Chains A and B, each alone.
Chain A
Amino acid sequence: MLKLEKRPSDSRLMAYLSPLIAILLTLLCGGILFVFLGHDPFAALHTFFIAPLTSVYGWTELGIKVAPLLLCAMGLTLCFRAKIWNIGAEGQFIMGALGGSIAALQFLDADSRWALVPILLAGTLSGLGWAALAAWLKTRFNANEILTTIMLNYVALNALLYGVHGPLKDPEGFNFPESALFADATLLPVFSDDYRLNISILFALLAMVAIWTLMARSWVGYQIRVLGEDAKAARYAGFKDKQLTWFALLACGALAGLAGVSEVTGPLGQLVPQVSPGYGYAAIIVVFLGRMQPLGILFASMLLALTYMGGEMVQMEMTLPKSLTGLFQGMLLFFLLATDFLIAYRLVWRRQPASHSTTASQA
């Protein structure tokens, strides 16, 4: 008989295998889905997952989506490792975009690249400041950060809408909710004029290395991990949990803010109401899919970015509906949660009569 049994300790192997199994199951079920839709499953999966990456252009576009995801995800890792459930990367991202845009609009006549420095700084600090609110509420009033960060996301969104509909609106824009286009000098440098990919991908990779070093090699990182594993033990060891909370949230806010300002000074080139297609929320999925490990998170963000691009591709090539993107993301998450169960549990095959014979021999 097949039985579930709790493992004596969590399986490290399964922790790494489960995302891979989840991906395979997603591909399998996706293939079956395509068959039912009347398409060759291999050709369809090829269009979804491979075709977007068969050109340099495809890879640069992937990079554009990976950069903000990775920046937000690295910040969130820091929080989640300390078991600080910051759901507010979205709001911090938006505030970064908003703060950065306010700065960029002061430099509309700029022709020096140096103008980018205060703009990026303004964006980063805006994200940091937004996270500081949640940190203050948590450390001062012990307010649940899940609730405060979610609510602050909505406040940020409304601040953004106020900005683009109000004082930041392009005066020559016929009242449409968009800012003026930023000066060319205040846009992030691109690697080649043929592509949109800009240096924000370097910020993201740098952040990845920095957070990895911090978590794996530093005293602060060690304290954060202990705080996450066992808050009481951390306090007993004399770690200052409030300071650690401040640190994790501020760092996350700064990274998400940087992601936000990189988006407006990058592919957008202006502030628009739809500045975030939900990067802050998608980053939460990325962190868990990537097992809170830097390389895992990098691959997870690439995979998630790819599902968006693949969804566009199958629409164009095979006139399949957009909902496929959501379906694939949903399946991926569902299977991940399902296979994660195998980290703490295992399936064992046990013969019923065996236990019967033991009782018999005892008698």
Chain B
Amino acid sequence: MTIKKLMVAAGLAFAASASQAEPLNIGFVYVGPVGDAGWTYGHDAARKAVEEKFGDKVKTTYVESVAEGADSARVIRNLAQKGNELIFTTSFGYMNPTLKVARKFPKVKFEHATGYKQGKNVGNYMARAYQGRYLTGLVAGSMTESNTLGYVASFPIPEVVRGINAFTKGAREVNPDVKVKVIWISSWYDPAKEREAAETLMLQGADVLTQHTDSAAVIQAAEAKGKYAIGYHTDMSAYGKSAHLTSTIHNWAPLYIAKAEAVMNGTWESQSLWYGLKEGVTDIAPFNAAVPAEVRTLVEEKKAQIKAGELQVFAGPIKDQQGTERVKVNESLADDDLKGMNWHVEGVDSKLPEA
């Protein structure tokens, strides 16, 4: 009797310790290679931060360079089937595949980056990168001598358009004569095209460049020609010691850690999160020595105001390229308008491609 009881007790204890030792499996789907900088690198850095924070309590798996077509659903499903209980799909094109797979795995939690659809077990998240764009715009507007800024852009979707507009708005607040020229390269990652576009922009007179693409080619092009550049996604100072002024960066770690914790505690729920400067998900990289003290002070001031909720980047009055007033004084654009933004503010010198 006692032996039997003992064995049951031991068995229970074993089961309990086993369930405690069972780590939370977390899967990540990346659109590009991890590399040394850029969008995917940022997500992978956050994955490592999750591992560091929770140690043995988590086990992460990632699959890189997953094409956004029909193949992505298989990768997502495989991750779910292999026992991952939380899966981050980190590019817009995974939205519908994620939702499709999620319906088949109701117990698995999914988090999709940059999309707009949600499901019972699918949340989405995005960074308010435009806040960083606005701050870097202040820097670019102060540093330009030709009053011409160059912007290498990927596709005319709201996220990119918003970034261009915020950058332009920041630049024109410190320098109303500034024009921003944009070249669309129809690719997220194509170092050759990015560089070519950067060279063209410099020939058109731009002396501060930035990009909404994944490589550091634009920084390198500016460095080679002795111009300035502002990075995106990650701190790109390594690619242009004298050219790189600062970067708008994403730091997904706080968001990923919070989500992992929520799954562990059983408190996860499907949310649509748009985190920015306040939550530390958006930030800017350290300044180059060339950035004067008064510019740094101004940027820090505005940053503090945005963090405190006192300043909205898209506060009126805002005119569009045609000069029509889009936002009135004392008003500012709501999140829903920002999420669907498809027009340029005054000061953007290039036409938005028919979209």
Binding between chains A and B: yes
Taking beta carbons and an 8 Å cutoff, which residues of A are in contact with B?
Answer: 57, 61, 64-65, 161, 165-166, 169, 173-178, 181, 194, 196, 263, 266-270, 272-277, 308-309, 312-313, 315-316, 319, 321-323
Q: B residues 42-81 with Cβ under 8 Å of A?
A: 61-71, 73-75, 78-79, 81
How far is it, in angstroms, between the C-alpha of A65 and the C-alpha of B82 when the chains are bound?
21
Contacts of A313 in B (CB 8 A): 78
Closest 3 CB pairs of A and B: A267-B70, A274-B69, A322-B65
With A169-B355, A269-B96, A312-B78 as contacts: A274 and B67 at CB distance below 8 Å: yes
A178: chain B residues at CB < 8 Å are 93, 96
Q: Indicate if the CB atoms of A165 and B353 lie closer than 8 Å.
A: yes
Q: Is the CB of A165 within 8 A of B92?
A: no
Determine the distance from Cα of A267 to Cα of B66 in the docked complex, in whole angstroms.
15
The answer, among A270, A308, A316, A319, for a CB contact under 8 Å with B71, is: A308
Contact between A272 and B355, CB atoms less than 8 A apart: no
- Residues in A with CB closer than 8 Å to B341 are 175
A165 adjacent to B355 (CB under 8 Å): yes
A263 to B70 CA separation, bound complex (whole angstroms): 8
Contacts of B155 in A (CB 8 A): 165, 177
Q: A275 — nearest CB in chain B belongs to which residue?
A: B69
CA distance A20 to B66 in the complex (A): 30
Contact partners of A275 in chain B: CB under 8 A = 69
Contact with B157, one of A176, A181, A274, A308 (Cβ below 8 angstroms): A176
Count of A-B contacts with CB under 8 A? 90
- With contacts A61-B74, A175-B340, A316-B82 known, is A166 near B355, CB below 8 A? yes
Q: Verify if B294 is at the interface (C-beta below 8 Å from A).
A: no
Which residues of the partner chain B approach A181 to less than 8 Å between Cβ atoms? 96
Quick check: is B33 within 8 A (CB to CB) of the other chain? yes
CB pair B69–A276 under 8 Å, yes or no, is yes
- A-B contacts, 29 of them at CB < 8 A, read A61-B74, A64-B74, A169-B355, A174-B116, A174-B158, A175-B156, A175-B340, A175-B341, A176-B92, A176-B116, A176-B157, A177-B155, A181-B96, A268-B69, A269-B96, A269-B100, A273-B68, A274-B69, A274-B93, A275-B69, A277-B71, A312-B63, A312-B66, A313-B78, A315-B64, A316-B61, A316-B63, A321-B64, A322-B65
User: Once bound together, how far apart are the Cα atoms of A272 and B93, in whole Å?
Assistant: 8
Please measure, in the bound complex, the distance between the C-alpha atom of A276 and the C-alpha atom of B341, giving whole angstroms. 28
Contact of A161 among B93, B161, B186 (CB under 8 A): B186
Residues of B close to A274: CB separation below 8 A: 67-69, 93
A179 to B: closest C-beta gap in Å: 11
Q: A57 to chain B: which residues have CB within 8 Å? A: 81
| A194 CB contacts on chain B under 8 angstroms | 104
Inter-subunit contact B355/A316 (CB<8 Å): no
Given A269-B100, A316-B78; 12 other pairs, CB 8 A cutoff = A57-B81, A175-B355, A176-B116, A177-B155, A272-B69, A312-B74, A312-B75, A312-B78, A315-B62, A316-B82, A321-B64, A322-B63
Residue of B nearest to A176 (CB): B157
- With A181-B96, A312-B78, A316-B79 already in contact, the answer to whether A64 and B70 are too (CB < 8 A) is yes
Tell me the count of chain B residues lying within 8 A, CB to CB, of chain A.
38
Q: Is B339 an interface residue (CB 8 A)?
A: yes
Which single member of A175, A176, A277 contacts B67 (CB below 8 Å)?
A: A277
Q: Is B332 an interface residue (CB 8 A)?
A: no
- Contact partner of B68 (CB less than 8 A), chosen from A64, A174, A272, A321, is A272
Q: Which residues of B contact A266 (CB under 8 A)?
A: 70
Q: For A273, list chain B residues within 8 Å (CB).
A: 68, 93
**A175 near B69 (CB under 8 angstroms)?**
no
List residues of chain A with CB within 8 A of the CB of B63.
312, 315-316, 322
Digitize B133-177: 1 where CB-to-A-CB distance is under 8 Å, 0 elsewhere: 000000000000000000000011110010000000000000000
Chain A nearest CB from B192 CB (Å) reads 15
B49 CB, nearest partner CB in chain A, Å:
17
- The verdict on B118 contacting chain A, using a C-beta distance below 8 Å, is no
Report how far A194 CA is from B78 CA in the complex, Å. Answer: 14
Q: Write out the residue numbers on chain B whose beta carbons fall within 8 Å of the beta carbon of A276.
A: 69
Residues of B within 8 A of A322 (CB): 33, 63-65
* B116 to chain A: closest residue by CB: A174
Distance in angstroms from B131 CB to nearest chain A CB is 19
Write out the residue numbers on chain B whose beta carbons fall within 8 Å of the beta carbon of A270. 96
Q: Does B310 contact A (CB under 8 A)?
A: no
CA of A321 to CA of B82, assembled, Å: 19
Q: Which of A174, A196, A323 contacts B340 (CB 8 A)?
A: A174
Closest to B64 in A: A322
**Residue in B closest to A276 when the chains form the complex, CB atoms:** B69
- Contacting pair A309 B74 (CB below 8 A): yes
- CA distance in complex: A321, B32 (Å): 11
Bound complex: CA of A272 vs CA of B92, how far in Å?
A: 11
- Complex CA gap A194/B82 in Å reads 17
Q: How far is the CA of A30 from the CA of B156 in the complex (A)?
A: 42
Residues of B with C-beta under 8 A to A165:
155-156, 353-355
Point out the residues of chain A lying under 8 angstroms from B61, CB to CB: 316, 319
User: Please, how many angstroms separate the alpha-carbon atoms of A279 and B191 in the complex?
Assistant: 24
Complex CA gap A88/B13 in Å reads 65
CA distance A194 to B354 in the complex (A): 40
The answer for the CA separation of A315 and B74 in the assembled complex, in Å, is 13
Q: Does B342 contact A (CB under 8 A)?
A: yes
Interface-central residue, B63, B70, B339, by most chain A CB under 10 Å? B70
Minimum Cβ distance to chain A for residue B351 (Å): 14
- Nearest B-chain residue to A68, judged by Cβ: B70
Q: How far is the CA of A204 from the CA of B277 in the complex (A)?
A: 52
What chain A residues lie within 8 Å of B75 (beta carbons)?
312
Compute how far the CA of A308 lies from the CA of B354 in the bound complex, rounded to whole angstroms: 36
Alpha-carbon distance A268/B186, docked complex (angstroms)? 21
Residue of A nearest to B72 (CB): A274
Check A175–B33 contact: CB distance below 8 A: no
**Most chain A beta-carbon neighbours within 10 Å: one of B33, B69, B157:** B69
Q: Which residues of chain A are near B73, meaning CB under 8 Å?
A: 196, 267
Q: How far is the CB of B48 from chain A (nearest CB, A)?
A: 13
